[in-house]
């Protein structure tokens, strides 16, 4: 009898242990968040400067608490003046966004936001940022954290520049002043290429017909420097041209408004045809390696045959650009002016043979990635754009925010996004950009068809605003957490619901 009672007691103990073990197994702690909400800023005294337009101000915050309810938390990030109460903030950077614990904004974009919302240029302001955590469970109170900082604004340089003067083809007719070309890769840089005759010139910021406007004129102490001449005030020093000996030459003028410099060169007349019809990338940094017989080709711009571009992954190593024909290491090349040149916009040297300086570009561990390389064989210049991908649209994580979207992660030559699609619009649309800024600033990845289902991952690449503006569209029931992968080498894409 005692043994039977003992067995019964042991059985009851085993049931109790089993119950608590099952409870531990069944209990899911993944949605339990119990953390005090706190926001921090990367720098609490920020002197904004257009020279450092792409430097970032970073806000980070802890998760806050859902009081162990397992409920989702959404975050709202606002900026206001120090004396404000956020009821009418300067700007709202995030509005009810899930699974986001940081926000970065460039100096330039922050400056534009502050000026657009009524703050003055070249002034220091006491500001504050506030993060609000809202839990979907109504029983959990809203949580708030605030951080203070100081930001000094700047006056952005002109987004247009013109040349006027009796040395120019249109003379002093300011309403018909010639507009300079804006550099596509370097902020504040403008380029004029054309004929100049004997006379003088300067640079107005518009062609509105008034000489009382802002000009850039010559620095009285250095002809290679420019001066910002506001409202036509100050010394009206102009650059002078004497073409007596160079009457058949053209000029290349590069004006840098950020560094206040000017470079004036005499160049040969513009050729009617490009010097080469094909270019290739060669080097251990490229997919071609040092195979000079089968290198990867650049694509010639159909609208400008002098321009070639290449897009691909660059590994740590070196490369140079082959021209003319393949198979000859002593053939024609485009190379940088110095060896181990970093991936920066600048001048290229075109030469041939094996008895010249064999300079190459250098890709480091820190600068490796996927790039678009553009070379202008007319002006012998080159630029490098690091390719990031961004999901843009009301069906994506950042809405229609083209200025400061969150980039996808670049992992093992694939672009990866893990997060919510359709969180704010369960039947929203989206497409994918290779850039941020303005809508026509770069290349897009679009689906082949309008309102294409995410089940169909076929896509096309469109340039600027020229292609069909197709978008992927979510249907009822598709919203949720996804892993999105894009491999631009294999042109493969996938949507995997988590």
Residue 118, both tokens: 């009524």
Torsion of CA 242, 246, 249, 252, to 10 degrees: -50
Pick the closest to residue 360 from 340, 333, 345, 387 (CA basis).
340
At residue 358, the pLDDT reads 92
CA 454 to mean position of chain CA atoms: 26
At residue 266, the pLDDT reads 81
Averages of pLDDT over runs of 10 residues in the chain (498 residues) are: 50 48 40 76 92 90 91 95 94 92 93 92 95 93 96 90 93 92 80 87 90 90 90 79 63 90 77 88 96 96 91 97 93 92 90 87 95 92 94 93 90 95 94 89 92 96 88 95 96 95
At residue 69, the pLDDT reads 87
38: left (phi over 0), alpha (psi -120 to 50) or beta: beta
Residue 185 contacts residue 222 (beta carbons within 8 Å): no
Which residues contact residue 7 at a Cβ distance below 8 angstroms, ignoring those fewer than 6 apart?
none
Query: If you ran DSSP here, which 8-state letter would residue 269 be given?
Result: P
At residue 269, the pLDDT reads 54
Cα separation, 99 vs 93, whole angstroms? 15
pTM above 0.95, yes or no: no
At residue 193, the pLDDT reads 82
At residue 197, the pLDDT reads 86
At residue 10, the pLDDT reads 52
At residue 492, the pLDDT reads 95
| Separation in Å, CA 77 to CA 13, 312, 430 | 52, 36, 23
| Separation in Å, CA 235 to CA 102, 224, 227, 263 | 48, 16, 9, 20
Model pLDDT for residues 319-361, shown as the tens digit of each residue: 999 998 999 999 999 999 889 999 998 889 998 888 888 999 9
Which residues contact residue 482 at a Cβ distance below 8 angstroms, ignoring those fewer than 6 apart?
417, 418, 419, 420, 421, 454, 495, 496, 497, 498
At residue 209, the pLDDT reads 78
Pick the closest to residue 353 from 332, 338, 374 (CA basis).
332
Residue 251, both tokens: 């000029």
At residue 312, the pLDDT reads 96
Pick the closest to residue 372 from 386, 360, 362, 358 (CA basis).
386
Q: What ranges make up the beta strands (E) of 5-72?
A: 39-41, 45-47, 56-61
Cα separation, 164 vs 77, whole angstroms? 46
Cα separation, 297 vs 278, whole angstroms? 7
Residue 486, both tokens: 């894009």
Within 13 Å of residue 228, how many CA atoms lie on the same side as its CB?
10
Tokens 């890769």 belong to which residue? 185
At residue 273, the pLDDT reads 85
Residue 481, both tokens: 């957490």
Which residues contact residue 36 at a Cβ distance below 8 angstroms, ignoring those fewer than 6 apart?
62, 64, 65
Which residues contact residue 156 at a Cβ distance below 8 angstroms, ignoring those fewer than 6 apart?
50, 108, 111, 112, 115
Which residues contact residue 102 at a Cβ distance below 8 angstroms, ignoring those fewer than 6 apart?
58, 59, 60, 61
């Amino acid at each position: 009898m005692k043994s039977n009672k003992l067995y019964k007691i042991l059985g009851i103990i085993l049931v109790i242990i089993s119950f608590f073990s099952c409870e531990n197994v069944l209990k899911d702690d993944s949605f339990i968040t119990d953390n005090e909400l706190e926001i921090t800023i990367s720098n609490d005294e920020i002197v904004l400067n257009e020279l450092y337009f792409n430097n970032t101000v970073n806000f980070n915050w802890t998760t806050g608490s859902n009081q162990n309810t397992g409920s989702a938390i959404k975050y709202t990030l606002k900026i206001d003046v120090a004396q404000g109460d956020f009821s009418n903030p300067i700007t709202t950077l995030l509005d009810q966004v899930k699974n986001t614990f940081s926000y970065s904004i460039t100096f330039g974009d922050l400056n534009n936001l502050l000026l657009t919302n009524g703050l003055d240029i070249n002034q220091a302001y006491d500001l504050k940022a506030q993060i609000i955590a809202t839990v979907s469970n109504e029983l959990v109170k809203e949580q708030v954290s605030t951080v203070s900082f100081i930001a000094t604004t700047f006056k952005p340089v002109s987004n247009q520049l013109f040349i006027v003067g009796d040395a120019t083809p249109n003379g002093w007719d300011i309403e018909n002043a010639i507009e300079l070309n804006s550099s596509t890769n370097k902020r504040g840089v403008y380029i004029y290429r054309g004929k100049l005759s004997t006379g003088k010139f300067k640079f107005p910021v518009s062609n509105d017909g008034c000489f009382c406007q802002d000009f850039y004129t010559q620095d009285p102490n250095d002809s290679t420097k420019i001066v910002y001449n506001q409202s036509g005030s100050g010394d009206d020093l102009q650059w002078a041209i004497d073409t007596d000996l160079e009457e058949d030459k053209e000029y290349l003028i590069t004006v840098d408004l950020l560094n206040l410099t000017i470079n004036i060169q005499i160049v040969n007349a513009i050729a009617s045809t490009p010097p080469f019809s094909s270019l290739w990338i060669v080097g251990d940094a490229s997919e071609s390696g040092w195979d000079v017989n089968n290198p990867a080709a650049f694509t010639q711009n159909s609208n400008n045959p002098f321009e070639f571009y290449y897009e691909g992954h660059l590994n740590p190593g070196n490369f140079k650009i082959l021209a003319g024909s393949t198979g000859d290491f002593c053939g024609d090349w485009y190379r940088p002016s110095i060896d181990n040149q970093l991936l920066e916009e600048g001048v290229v040297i075109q030469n041939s043979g094996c008895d010249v300086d064999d300079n190459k570009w250098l890709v480091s561990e820190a600068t490796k990635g996927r790039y678009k390389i553009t070379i202008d064989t007319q002006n012998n210049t080159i630029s490098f754009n690091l390719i990031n991908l961004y999901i843009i649209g009301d069906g994506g994580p950042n809405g229609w925010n083209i200025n400061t979207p969150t980039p996808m992660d670049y992992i093992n030559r694939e672009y990866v996004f893990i997060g919510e699609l359709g969180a704010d619009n369960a039947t929203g649309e989206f497409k994918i950009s290779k850039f941020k800024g303005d809508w026509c600033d770069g290349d897009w990845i679009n689906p082949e068809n309008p309102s294409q289902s995410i089940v169909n991952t076929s896509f096309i690449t469109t340039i600027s605003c020229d292609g069909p503006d197709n978008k992927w569209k979510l249907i009822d029931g598709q919203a949720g957490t996804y892993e999105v992968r894009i491999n631009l080498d294999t042109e493969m894409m996938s949507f995997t619901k988590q």
